[in-house]
Amino acid sequence: MLPAMSAPLPADASPPNFDPAAAYPEVDAVRRALRGGDWPAVQQIFAGQGSDGRDVLTRAAGEVREAEGFLRSMAQRDPTDTLAGTLWASWLVEAGWKIRTGYRAQHVSREQFAAFHDHLRRAEQVLIDVTAREPGTAEAWTLRMMTARGLELGQAEARRRYDQLSRHVPHHLPAQAQLLQQLCPKWSGTFEKMHSFARDCMLAAPEGAPNAMLVAQGHLEHWLDLPAGDDERYLRDPPVWQEIQEAAQRSVRHPAFRRVPGWVWAENTFAVAFSLAGDHTSAAASFAAIGHLASEFPWAYLDDPAAAFTRYRDKALAKGTAK
């Protein structure tokens, strides 16, 4: 497990830090090892991790732009090295989605789509081999859920990949979050299926596990899809608010909750959901836990994430201390 940073003081007013390395020092270690072309060091860092930690590090490795040549050569040198394959695929997936951008399909050019698909296909072919050799590689399956979505391979195929992963690693939150995306209407799913999947994940996970954050994430996806005005009303709707509360109680507010990799992301999700729902008191507990540790999502759904983080944290902590 990644050792988490100690809890920041509730009054932490420093600007948000969106770098995952702020919470997980191994991220920086992996970056250094990749930039230095030190493969044994990379292997050593991964060897000490559980599947959640490996997922965080795999995604972080994919974001090291200058590691392209090194990762490609490591993957080609030994096709049986599943770590090298996974990290190279992560790099390709990350590069592909950067080319595509996060805009809706109609704002993405034909050339962008072609390059995006080309990157995902290359990643997918590496990952087919990785999961064939080691079907228990959770982070490779998580990436394959991203390639399946981008290549539009279909709802049933995404589900099959998730089921294959679950057979080996149950309750793998990063993959569950990917399937949640796939189940959104923007990727040919339905809100009904998405909410029901989030709830199933919450109920199946052990007490205090972070998986219940998917319920809040699901409501944020729903919020994102609604026109301005309706969206806020949606999150303030008592049944929706209650579900987010229940999810928080089962995860981040549960006595068994531990700061395992992914905890920053879970707390940030509740911070955003409660803030947008106007429940700054509930948001205060999450802000108190994270201090300045921000996660890219779901803040990226808001205009100027850093400013939004500061604004909502100020509101929440004002409420929290006024209480």
Partner 1 sequence: MIQHIDLDGVPTLLAPTTGPTLAGLTFRVGRADETLARGGVTHLIEHLALHHLGMADYHFNGMTGATVTTFHTEGSPDDVAAFLTGVCDALSDLPLDRLEMEKEILRTEDANRTRSVTEPLALWRYGARSYGMLSYPEWGLSMLGRDEVRAWARRYFTKGNVVLWIGGAGVPPGLRLRLPDGDRQSLPEPTSALPTTPAYFAGSTRAVAVESLIRRRTAGGVFAGVLERVLFRTLRQEGGLSYTVAAVYEPRDSTSASVVALVDALPEKQDAALGGFVDVLAAMRVGRIEQSDLDAVVAKSRDVLDHPDVRTGRLPAYAFNMLIDFENISIERLRDELAATTVEDVHDVAREAAESALLMVPEGHDARWAGFSQAPVRSEHAVTGTRYPSRESAEVGLVVGPDGASLVAPDGLVTVRFDDCAALLAWPDGGRVMIGNDAISLRVEPTLYAVDPSALSTIDQRVPVGQHVAMPARDPDEIPRPVPPPPVRAGGPSRLETFTFAVVGIAALLFVCLGGLMTMGVSADAEARGGEWAVVATVWFIAAILILPTVLLYRRRAAARGQR
Q: Which residues bind partner 1 (CB under 8 A)?
A: 80, 120-121, 124-125, 128-129, 131-133, 135, 147-148, 151, 153-157, 159-161, 163-164, 167
Question: Residue 188 and residue 156: Cα distance in Å, rounded?
Answer: 11
Question: Residue 32 and residue 90: Cα distance in Å, rounded?
Answer: 17
CA-based angle 53:30:42, to the nearest 5?
90
- Residue 12 or 157: the one with the smaller Cβ distance to partner 1 is 157
CA-based angle 78:55:221, to the nearest 5?
135
Question: Residue 115 and residue 45: Cα distance in Å, rounded?
Answer: 32
Q: How far is the CB of 317 from partner 1 (least distance, A)?
A: 47
Q: How far is the CB of 194 from partner 1 (least distance, A)?
A: 17
Q: How far is the CB of 128 from partner 1 (least distance, A)?
A: 5
Torsion of Cα atoms, 305 then 307 then 309 then 311, to 10°: -150
CB 113 within 8 A of CB 154: no
Surface-to-core class of residue 32, CB atoms within 10 Å of its CB (0-12 exposed, 13-18 middle, 19+ buried) = middle
Find tokens 């995860």 and name the residue: 251
- Residue 94 or 243: the one with the smaller Cβ distance to partner 1 is 94
Q: How far is the CB of 102 from partner 1 (least distance, A)?
A: 22
* Token pair belonging to 278: 């106007």
- Residue 102 or 135: the one with the smaller Cβ distance to partner 1 is 135
Q: Which residues pair with 293 in a beta bridge?
A: 17
Q: How far is the CB of 151 from partner 1 (least distance, A)?
A: 5
DSSP class of residue 293?
B
- Residue 157 or 246: the one with the smaller Cβ distance to partner 1 is 157
Of the candidates 178, 116, 97, the one whose C-alpha atom is nearest the C-alpha of residue 141 is 178
Torsion of Cα atoms, 107 then 294 then 207 then 165, to 10°: 40
- Residue 159 or 171: the one with the smaller Cβ distance to partner 1 is 159
- Residue 28 or 129: the one with the smaller Cβ distance to partner 1 is 129
- Residue 118 or 230: the one with the smaller Cβ distance to partner 1 is 118
CB 55 within 8 A of CB 49: no
Question: Residue 42 and residue 33: Cα distance in Å, rounded?
Answer: 6
Q: How far is the CB of 129 from partner 1 (least distance, A)?
A: 6
- Residue 136 or 185: the one with the smaller Cβ distance to partner 1 is 136
Identity (one letter) of the amino acid at 184?
Answer: C
Q: How many Cβ atoms sit within 10 Å of the Cβ of residue 319?
A: 15
Q: How many Cβ atoms sit within 10 Å of the Cβ of residue 44?
A: 12
Q: How far is the CB of 105 from partner 1 (least distance, A)?
A: 18
- Residue 190 or 281: the one with the smaller Cβ distance to partner 1 is 190
Q: How far is the CB of 9 from partner 1 (least distance, A)?
A: 49
